[in-house]
């Protein structure tokens, strides 16, 4: 058990992680670091954190620091954290992109005390109110560059995630970002684009709400996600996201062509091929 843990960011991921640490007995006291006083206060009211402090004070008091903030802010904040750390402390992040972060920290003297992680879970909601218990159970967590971190630090982080019910996968940062583009980032872009398409065509929003069924709601749900979090993810993983987008656009064109040419067999073929996803998604 850690005497004190700091979570940098008090939103969906960090808040859910903090609740899990308390529930599983990993932390006696949790300190929150937030950009806004309002978020810190709300996190305290919800029992996510026990106290809110500036970053420097929080890091100096803590055994374990968990950084879960937008990826563009993670690099400078992580450098600040690691500049303040000693060799007994551990820091981990929860960012959706890994290559840029790992490259930027590769030569830091405290690199071995950093464990690069990505718990593959999230919702379209944000802020302390979005934090939920048992959020990570049954999900996957990616750990990158395990070999560059101290064995003891990696073991501790792995133990936490496994106790939370997560399955751990190891990847290098480049492969992580490629796979994340396919299984996560493209889903969000597609959802944003579909929402914009519908809003453009359906000027009368009441009609959307009256006719929207479960299929539409589940497909466009991610469009409610926080742009300040997702825009930096898309930009940091720009090349991979563009590759996936190009393939996605190619697939859309195939559906468009089958309809334009009234080619029913081809339309069915495209959908039957898509049905093969059942082998992966049970």
Do 121 and 133 contact (CB within 8 A), yes or no?
Answer: no
Q: Which residues contact 225 (CB under 8 A, 6 or more apart)?
A: 124, 126, 188, 191, 192
Q: Note the pLDDT tens digit of each residue in 131-187.
A: 999 999 999 999 999 999 999 999 999 999 999 999 999 999 999 999 999 999 999
**Does the pLDDT at position 95 exceed 70?**
yes
> Angle of helix 186-201 relative to helix 227-236, nearest 10 degrees?
130
Are 90 and 24 contained in the same domain? yes
d(CA 228, CA 9): 14
Are 148 and 261 within one domain? no
Looking at the predicted structure, is the pLDDT value of residue 86 above 90? yes
Q: Give pLDDT tens digits for 217-254.
A: 777 889 999 999 999 999 999 999 999 999 999 999 99
**pLDDT tens-digit readout, 1-54:** 899 999 999 999 999 999 999 999 999 999 999 999 999 999 999 999 999 999
85 plus 140 within the same structural domain: yes
**pLDDT of 104 over the 70 cut:** yes
List all residues 6 or more positions away from 59 whose beta carbon is below 8 Å from its beta carbon: 6, 65, 81, 84, 85, 89
Domain identity same for 149 and 186: no
pLDDT number for residue 220: 84
- pLDDT in the model for residue 218: 74
Angle at 105 between CA 14 and CA 142, to 5 degrees: 50
Would you say residue 206 has pLDDT above 80?
no
pLDDT in the model for residue 257: 98
Contact (CB, 8 A) for 46 and 21: no
Same domain, 130 and 257: no
Q: Are residues 122 and 228 in the same domain?
A: no
pLDDT at residue 12 in the model: 95
Closest CA to 223 of 248, 198, 252: 198
Question: Does 209 have pLDDT greater than 90?
Answer: no
Last residue of a domain, one of 171, 201, 220: 171
The CATH number assigned to the domain holding 224 equals 1.10.3660.10
203 has a pLDDT exceeding 70: no
- Whether pLDDT at 198 is above 90: no
Which of 154, 171, 188 is where one domain is finished?
171
Domain match, 80 and 196 both: no
In angstroms, the CA 44 to CA 7 distance is 12
Neighbour tally for 271: CB within 10 Å: 11
120/146 Cα distance (integer angstroms): 17
Answer yes or no: are the C-beta atoms of 257 and 263 closer than 8 Å.
yes
Report the pLDDT value the prediction gives residue 107, as an integer from 0 to 100: 97
**pLDDT above 80 (res 215):** no
Alpha carbon of 253 to those of 42, 247, 249, 259, 261: distances in Å? 47, 10, 6, 10, 12
**230 in the same domain as 116:** no
Q: For the chain, what is the domain count?
A: 2
Domain-terminating residue out of 124, 145, 171: 171
Beta-carbon contacts of 256 under 8 Å, excluding residues fewer than 6 positions away, are: none
Q: Do 23 and 90 sit in the same domain of this protein?
A: yes
Containing structural domain, residue 202: 176-279
Q: Are residues 272 and 182 in the same domain?
A: yes
CATH code: domain of residue 52: 3.40.50.720
Q: Which residues of 116-144 are buried (b: 16+ CB within 10 A; e: fewer)?
A: bbbbbbbeeebbbbbbeeebbeeeebbbb
What is the model's pLDDT at position 109? 97
Considering the domain architecture, whether residues 226 and 101 belong to the same structural domain is answered as: no
Helical ranges in the chain per DSSP H: 12-23, 37-45, 55-61, 71-84, 99-105, 151-163, 173-180, 186-201, 205-211, 214-220, 227-236, 238-260, 264-274
Nearest partner of 195 among 214, 178, 218, judged by Cα: 218
pLDDT at residue 202 tops 70? no
Tens of pLDDT, residue by residue over 267-277, are 999 999 999 98
pTM assigned to the model? 0.90
Q: Are 184 and 245 within one domain?
A: yes
pLDDT at residue number 207: 62
Rounded to a whole number of angstroms, the distance between the first and last alpha carbons of the chain is: 37
Q: Cα(232)–Cα(227) distance, rounded to whole angstroms? A: 8
Task: Output the pLDDT for position 212.
Answer: 63
- The three-class DSSP label of residue 91 is strand
């Amino acid at each position: 058990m850690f005497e004190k843990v700091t979570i940098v960011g008090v939103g969906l991921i960090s808040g859910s992680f903090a609740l899990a640490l308390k529930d599983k007995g990993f932390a006696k006291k949790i300190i929150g670091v937030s950009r806004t006083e309002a978020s810190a206060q709300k996190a305290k009211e919800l029992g996510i954190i026990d106290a809110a402090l500036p970053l420097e004070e929080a890091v100096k008091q803590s055994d374990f620091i968990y950084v879960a903030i937008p990826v563009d802010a993670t690099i400078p904040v992580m450098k600040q954290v690691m500049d303040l750390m000693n060799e007994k402390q551990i820091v981990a992040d929860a960012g959706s992109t890994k290559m840029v972060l790992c490259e930027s920290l590769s030569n830091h003297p405290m690199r071995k005390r950093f464990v690069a992680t990505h718990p593959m879970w999230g919702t379209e909601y944000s802020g302390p109110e979005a934090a939920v218990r048992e959020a990570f159970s049954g999900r996957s967590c990616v750990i990158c560059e395990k070999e560059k971190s101290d064995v003891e630090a990696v073991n501790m982080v792995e133990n936490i995630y496994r106790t939370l019910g997560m399955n751990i996968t190891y990847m290098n940062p480049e492969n992580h970002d490629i796979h994340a583009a396919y299984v996560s980032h493209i889903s969000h872009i597609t959802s944003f684009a579909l929402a914009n398409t519908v809003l453009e065509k359906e000027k009368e929003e009441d009609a959307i709400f009256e006719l929207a069924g479960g299929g539409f709601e589940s497909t466009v749900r991610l469009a409610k996600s926080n742009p300040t979090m997702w825009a930096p993810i898309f930009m940091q993983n720009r090349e991979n996201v563009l590759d996936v987008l190009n393939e996605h656009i190619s697939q859309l064109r195939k559906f468009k062509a089958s309809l334009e040419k009234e080619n029913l067999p081809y339309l069915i073929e495209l959908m039957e091929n898509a049905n093969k996803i059942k082998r992966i998604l049970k």
